[in-house]
Amino acid sequence: MGGLRFKGTRIIITKGVIPLLPLHKILGTLKAVVQHCFNRPFMRIFFTFLLLTALGTVAQTPAEINKHIKEITATERAAYGRLNQEGVLTGASANFDVKYYRCEWEVDPAVRFIAGKITMYYVITTATSDITLDLMSPLTADSVKQRNNSLVKQQNNNTLQVVFPATVNAGTLDSVSIYYKGVPPNTGFGSFIQDVHGANIPVMWSLSEPYGARDWWPCKNGLDDKADSVDIFITAPSQYKAASNGLLQSETLIAGGTKKVAYWKHRYPIATYLVCFAVTNYTVFNRTVQLGPVTLPMQTYCYPESLTNFQNGTQSTLDALQIFYNLFGDYPFSKEKYGHVQFGWGGGMEHQTASFVVSVVNYLTAHELAHQWFGDKITCGSWEDIWLNEGFATNLTLLYFEKTLPQYTLDLRRDDINEVVSQPGGTLKVDDTTDVNRIFDNRLTYTKGAMVLNMLRWKLGDSVYFKAIRAYLQDPKVAYGFARTADLKRNLEQVSGQDLTRFFNQWYTGQGYPSYTVAWTPVGSSHVRIKLSQTTSHPSVSFFELPVALKFKNATQQKTIVLNNKIKDEVFFENIGFIADSVFIDPEYWLITKNNTAVKTPDNAAQNTVQVYPNPIQSDFTVYLRNMTASSAIINLYNAAGQLLSSQNVAVVNGSQYLQVPSQQLPAGVYTLRVTAGNFKYTKKLLK
């Protein structure tokens, strides 16, 4: 879910996506409706979004945009807080495995009410005489039937217990049909909303993440059981269209033409919170996109008054589909469709094959599309690991802009890093899954999640990283099912050959970030001595092991090197090819860091110092001349018999020089190194 909270921290709007309106018209419209609607949380979000999108092409600084987004995030998190007050969030029993739902709903978007029949096929996993589903108490289950026989049922504590006539053995496949009706309760964002749009036209929609499915239909509400498929039948007044998951099979008039039944068929595994419907006077249009050999339908259900906006904005989604296909492989539901369904909540929700969006802002649509791979095909197996949904979707949105607006890449990374390090601690792992505000924490779940994936990409390299993520998506243990962080780690390790235990200990369960100090000293005409130190912001991690990029520059040249920093206060010698006058730490913003400093330091060695290492020598050895007074030096190597084997005359630049002497071809034995620099002489015995 997301968009404008955002599952990230900014909005980017390109010309042609959101039409500009005169400011006085925007304000006039808002003035007429705000007094009526602003006391409703989801409408507060919506009107804030309208104002932002209307002003979207007006020059705004990143700080201004981020400020508005954080305000929206705060409102949404407050809504999640109200949802959490409902108490126990799933009471379904674990003694059955759902295989299929046939959902038959009758609604009128002008009336907040639902009547339904849910036929559920399941396999008993533990011998039992009853099963329990989630169903909020304001809804009444009139009856439960099995092969036309009524079963005993009991509703309490927001659950529906179904009692069988006798004990059912494990492995038994069977079904029940639940007939129910009522007014769904108001919780959180509004898992079931009846509202209006345009010229007071009724609209109704669902939004069940994280725990809201039970508000409007009997089901299993947790993250442990996907139905293999669903059929959805929505009966509504005939002037309206109903949108849902999968492919529309038929629209059939009934009741003398006053009602219409829309039949949607979805033949992929689906988590309960991703089942959806929406009903109003939708205008429908279709596009296609070529993804390798597949011509994928792209279907949009939008309000008539928004048709131009959605038609103009759909191309960015088609572009994103091609980008994500190229990076991550087949669109997960390629036998069906991808779609947009307009609704009135200020953001988006990644319902499987049918993302609900308030408008087609490219950041929002890319984010919700990304969830089809990460969140829908592979769903986090616990809210503890919600970053596997939201961190990935936020990261893929950055990838979308990296491909379409590459000039924004560094600014976007920098802004996200600044968001993460705005506080010294916080784990990526959700440490309290009863706190919905914590589950959907913008800084940690969304932004830190995205940046941790960016660091993995940096650590492993593009080729290995994307290969590993594709392996994760194809892993039969999690594909079209549920995953935990350990599943991602396992795939990354199998493809890369690297042990990532320390990385995940530091960045998943650990807290904080490093601050680097680079003390660097030019050596000779082309080398640099670097001491890389760090402090950490939180005591849970004393040292972060990371590859750190340093960009050295002078007026005419620059070079970026990468130091694989494994220990504290590590010292490196690097050949950069020129004398630098400045250095920049992590110039492309790959790492979650803050307050990095680079200090050019003089050589504090005693005058005329020579260091030779290693000894015994191996394939080569290093001669490091420090704080010399002469402008050049002669370096000679002799064998045990006193024969000259090699001689080098090197310039001493600013008192120093650093060179490596090849010795791979030398036989084992004792050698003598002699250095002459003006009146200074130095002799060293070497062993091989």
User: DSSP letters of 630-645?
Assistant: SSEEEEEEE-TT--EE
What is the rounded distance in angstroms from the CA atom of residue 255 to the CA atom of residue 463? 59
Q: How many residues are listed for the chain in this entry?
A: 688
Domains of the chain: 97-280 (2.60.40.1730), 514-600 (2.60.40.1840), 609-687 (2.60.40.1930)
Q: Binning pLDDT at 50, 70 and 90, where does residue 210 land? A: confident
Checking if the pLDDT of 72 tops 60, the result is no
pLDDT reported for residue 189: 58
pLDDT reported for residue 494: 98
CA angle 379, 381, 385 (to 5 degrees): 90
Checking if the pLDDT of 13 tops 50, the result is no
> Average of pLDDT values for 181-204?
90
pLDDT reported for residue 528: 96
pLDDT reported for residue 74: 45
Q: Are 499 and 545 in contact (CB under 8 A)?
A: no
> Average of pLDDT values for 306-322?
97
The distance of Cα 447 from the centroid of its chain, to the nearest Å, equals 8
pLDDT reported for residue 188: 57
Checking if the pLDDT of 85 tops 50, the result is no
Predicted confidence (pLDDT) per residue in 275-293, tens digit: 999 999 999 999 999 999 9
The percentage of residues in the chain with a pLDDT greater than 90, rounded to a whole number, is 83
> Average of pLDDT values for 106-112?
98
pLDDT reported for residue 519: 97
pLDDT reported for residue 472: 98
The distance of Cα 256 from the centroid of its chain, to the nearest Å, equals 49
pLDDT reported for residue 562: 98
* Segment among 433-447, 458-472, 627-641 with least mean pLDDT: 433-447
Q: Are 653 and 625 in contact (CB under 8 A)?
A: no
Checking if the pLDDT of 572 tops 90, the result is yes
What is the rounded distance in angstroms from the CA atom of residue 202 to the CA atom of residue 642? 99
Q: Are 211 and 79 in contact (CB under 8 A)?
A: no
Predicted confidence (pLDDT) per residue in 506-537, tens digit: 999 999 999 999 999 999 999 999 999 999 99
Predicted confidence (pLDDT) per residue in 392-407, tens digit: 999 999 999 999 999 9
pLDDT reported for residue 7: 35
The percentage of residues in the chain with a pLDDT greater than 70, rounded to a whole number, is 87
Residue 199 burial (CB < 10 Å; 0-12/13-18/19+)?
Answer: exposed
What is the rounded distance in angstroms from the CA atom of residue 259 to the CA atom of residue 240? 9
Predicted confidence (pLDDT) per residue in 219-234, tens digit: 998 899 999 999 999 9
User: 618: Cβ–Cβ under 8 A, 6 or more apart, which residues?
Assistant: 663, 688
Q: Are 662 and 617 in contact (CB under 8 A)?
A: no
Checking if the pLDDT of 20 tops 50, the result is no
What is the rounded distance in angstroms from the CA atom of residue 677 to the CA atom of residue 651? 10
In which element (H, E) is residue 107 found? strand 96-108
Q: In what order do the strands lie in the sheet with 620-626?
A: 609-613, 620-626, 657-662
Q: Binning pLDDT at 50, 70 and 90, where does residue 345 land? A: confident
Closest CA to 452 of 417, 418, 407, 414: 417
What is the rounded distance in angstroms from the CA atom of residue 63 to the CA atom of residue 439? 25
Residue 631 burial (CB < 10 Å; 0-12/13-18/19+)?
Answer: exposed
pLDDT reported for residue 435: 83
Q: Binning pLDDT at 50, 70 and 90, where does residue 2 land? A: low
pLDDT reported for residue 346: 79
Q: In what order do the strands lie in the sheet with 546-553?
A: 558-565, 546-553, 582-585
pLDDT reported for residue 296: 98
What is the rounded distance in angstroms from the CA atom of residue 503 to the CA atom of residue 493? 11
Handedness of CA 222, 223, 224, 227 (dihedral sign): positive
Give bridge partners of residue 482 from the DSSP assignment.
379
The distance of Cα 338 from the centroid of its chain, to the nearest Å, equals 20
CA angle 194, 200, 206 (to 5 degrees): 20
What is the rounded distance in angstroms from the CA atom of residue 473 to the CA atom of residue 455? 19
Checking if the pLDDT of 70 tops 60, the result is no
Q: Binning pLDDT at 50, 70 and 90, where does residue 437 land? A: confident
Predicted confidence (pLDDT) per residue in 555-568, tens digit: 999 999 999 999 99
pLDDT reported for residue 118: 98
What is the rounded distance in angstroms from the CA atom of residue 470 to the CA atom of residue 662? 43
Biggest CA pair distance of the chain = 112
Amino acid identity, residue 532?
A: L
Q: Are 398 and 498 in contact (CB under 8 A)?
A: no
What is the rounded distance in angstroms from the CA atom of residue 283 to the CA atom of residue 102? 26
What is the rounded distance in angstroms from the CA atom of residue 232 to the CA atom of residue 235? 10
Q: Binning pLDDT at 50, 70 and 90, where does residue 37 land? A: very low
Q: Are 235 and 254 in contact (CB under 8 A)?
A: yes
Question: What does the block give as tokens for 118?
Answer: 């849910």
Predicted confidence (pLDDT) per residue in 605-641, tens digit: 999 999 999 999 988 999 999 999 999 999 999 999 9
